[in-house]
């Protein structure tokens, strides 16, 4: 393994050639036109876990690293970068209690006024609902103190009826699916 894979390399796009009038594909202004990009972490622990989990007759306990593997490549709705690259999700902000069938994922929006926070949280929730056994209760939250509307967004993301209603909206579900497929939704 190359030790360089584990370095935290960041890129601030202020240094790149960009116009002050950065716009998204629809001609609107970006919420965060110059996000800081972080290097992708090494997946060596995930590869070692896959090798150790060879016996399919034994139920393997889930851990934070495994949950992170599921959410790290979700795309940011606004930028062509993953949630990992933008440091929106990281393994340290994921808690797993396999015995109690509970998973908590805290994410950090790139700016405190991010209007995409609900879409990001919904994308994380949908991804985990699609890949995890039904026995798990998944709690998706904005990290404390990182968003101006933290309480309201957390309430939306963890209300089963609101989530179900959101997923019945074809336009919103399309945006979630775009984020899950590695493309920008806006």
* DSSP collapsed to 3 states, the chain: CCHHHHCCCEEEHHHCCCCCCCECCCCCECCCCCCEEECCCCCHHHHHHHHHCCCCCCCCCCCHHHHHHHHCCCECCCCCCECCCCCCCCHHHEEEECCCCEEEEEECCCCCCCCCHHHHHHHHHHHHHHHCCCCCEEEEEECCCCCCCHHHHHHHHCCHHHHHHHHHCHHHHHHHHHHHCCCCCC
Residue-averaged pLDDT of the chain: 82
Q: Which of 18-32, 87-101, 113-127 has the lowest mean pLDDT?
A: 18-32
Q: What is the pLDDT of residue 20?
A: 43
Query: Using 50, 70 and 90 to split pLDDT, how confident is the model at 43?
Result: low
Query: Using 50, 70 and 90 to split pLDDT, how confident is the model at 3?
Result: very low
pLDDT digits (tens, 9 = 90+) for 137-177: 999 999 999 999 999 999 999 999 999 999 999 999 999 99
pTM of the model: 0.72
Between 129 and 21, where is the model more confident?
129
């Amino acid at each position: 393994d190359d030790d360089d894979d584990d370095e935290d390399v960041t890129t601030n796009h202020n240094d790149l050639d960009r116009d002050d009038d950065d716009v998204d594909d629809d001609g609107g202004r970006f919420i965060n036109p110059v996000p800081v990009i972080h290097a992708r972490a090494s997946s060596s622990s995930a590869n070692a876990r896959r090798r150790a989990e060879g016996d399919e007759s034994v139920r393997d306990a889930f851990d934070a690293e495994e949950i992170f593997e599921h959410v790290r490549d979700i795309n940011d709705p606004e930028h062509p970068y993953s949630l990992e690259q933008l440091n929106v999700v990281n393994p340290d902000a994921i808690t797993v209690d396999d015995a109690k069938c509970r998973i908590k994922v805290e994410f950090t929006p790139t700016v405190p006024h991010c209007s995409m926070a609900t879409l990001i949280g919904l994308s994380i929730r949908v991804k985990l609902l699609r890949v995890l056994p039904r026995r798990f209760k998944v709690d998706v939250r904005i990290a404390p103190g990182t968003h101006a509307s933290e309480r309201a967004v957390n309430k939306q993301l963890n209300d089963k009826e609101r989530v179900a209603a959101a997923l019945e909206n074809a336009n919103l579900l399309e945006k979630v699916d775009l984020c899950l497929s590695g493309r920008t939704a806006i």
